[in-house]
Structure 1
């Protein structure tokens, strides 16, 4: 009860923390259209630029205000026991806000529920917020407020600018996987391990500094420098020291249906492959009847050529979207690339998708069609096929 009485006046900062955490979704520019779970987690981790300094600053300010109370009422208990009893809402709210943001990104996006390495990445985000809460508590334990904005600003730079400067191995220290991961890439476990060592080491240092009665600031400072030094050594000597994406190719293979055209999707979407295959089978029949170019067979979610897109399947994708993506991939394979200078296959793929049975209203994701495409769609089937062939030939010639 005494703890609740001492904490009563601090409710406003906690409410502010929750509101600002919700606003971090907008401020961080989080995308919800990424189909690969690690990519979704990595993108949402940009919220740590706001949540981490806010968590550290809130913990430090409250610890500074309550340090005398804890000292006077911690008879028979450790300093951490007293502080944890008063300040536990700080890491709880911060971690809760972080998980809500991640949950929102997955609930509203096409990525399946995270597993494996994606869960490791989520754990790193939670560990980071607990760590910075502990660090902030130690910083505020001296009763001084001037170190708080300095530490919060340094932490903001740690998350915002460290991943953007040379050398590349510095990106591994904050624990956010900048540039990770395309549909064919997973985060490199080695880089996740470095981040775990850094964040875990900082938490141990903060907890250790709180156990002593004097020299907490010095112990915390030296400990942070030592942990960052060890992390830098691991990152600078690892096999991913020159990696900007902190990722490596996925070890798993796509799963194919054996249908015609054959559809090959990543394992997390294996259960949806039959529906995609059926949609492409109907589209192929329509193209045969129209005398138009047929869809590529097999149709894979992944291609080794960066100039040729894969099927780009996403959870919940409608049949029309699947066919439209397949049309674009097919023409890119025919031309050897999806675009070249001022030439691209967007218009031709729309016409091919229409011939495959995609309703005109869904072409271009509902945006107005280019005038040239609208004109071609009003022409005969023969003229539409000729338009497709001309566009493919133009891109192919340009790419030579």
Structure 2
């Protein structure tokens, strides 16, 4: 059995929200039963002194000590996962009517699906088990401390009946179901947007967008793509839950300028050859601007990803459904406005802007030249992973 200790008041307290139909149960959770590199296993406070959950199971059979097994309890089957978000999902299942009225609790065994890139030190046999009182189905499982966006999980369910002595009788485990959590929603991205606005700083003027690459890249564009740079799928840099990573097609540009010169910096992480194009060629009243991400890479620098999409283009339609749209004349990151008949552009000083343009770009619209500075490979953000511990650029959902 699990019992309290004298240090109980000093333990971690969290909340788990589980809803079923119109029923909402909010259970106070206490200390981790098991801990490993990534996962916590929890029991509810009202059951903590009387229940024990095993950290291992074989096949579909429960091997929990202190929990008896009774065949009469119905085994969940035909499990359905729905309403999946980045940190929640609804779960329901079918059950035989036999002994259904004896069910008092559900045991939900939730595990991150193992893959080749799993941390080698992770104890593979330690699951995250959730205990929920039996409520009408479907039931919502919500918790950013054990659910991450864009992550594959396995889930299995037991029905249980709590006895007068505090023990449980349980059914066999259900079949194992796999599912994948979703990307950040617009609500989550708006939270990131608001955090980014806090540190964006004052606005500086800019006149060009620029893209650094190796000379071979531009030679290849001329020889094999008719002098036109084509959009490619964005890599997995930035927030793990970003809806544009691995999905949005575009061309990466920079726009930050040096404070003292008002011109692009001479150094670059991406190559010694730079393509420059006048800002109005890419960003104007015929384009829409979207906020895509906010992240850092274990450094003091913070990055904001913006997307520029020609109105009505496929990229525009993609972003309109998934990303917060910004007013091109009035936002904290990148603006375009007319002054005395001339388009004037400004960018935020205190964040590094990564701009994705969603349409093809003809090299003839700009110029290619070698930079005079250095190629700083250490500053590259290609497939860079976000620092999950940074309080400046993280929100209270999976990283």
User: What is the TM-score normalised by the length of structure 1?
Assistant: 0.26
| Greater relative contact order (Cα < 8 A, sep 6+) | 2
Question: Which structure: greater helix fraction?
Answer: 1
Question: Which structure: greater strand fraction?
Answer: 2
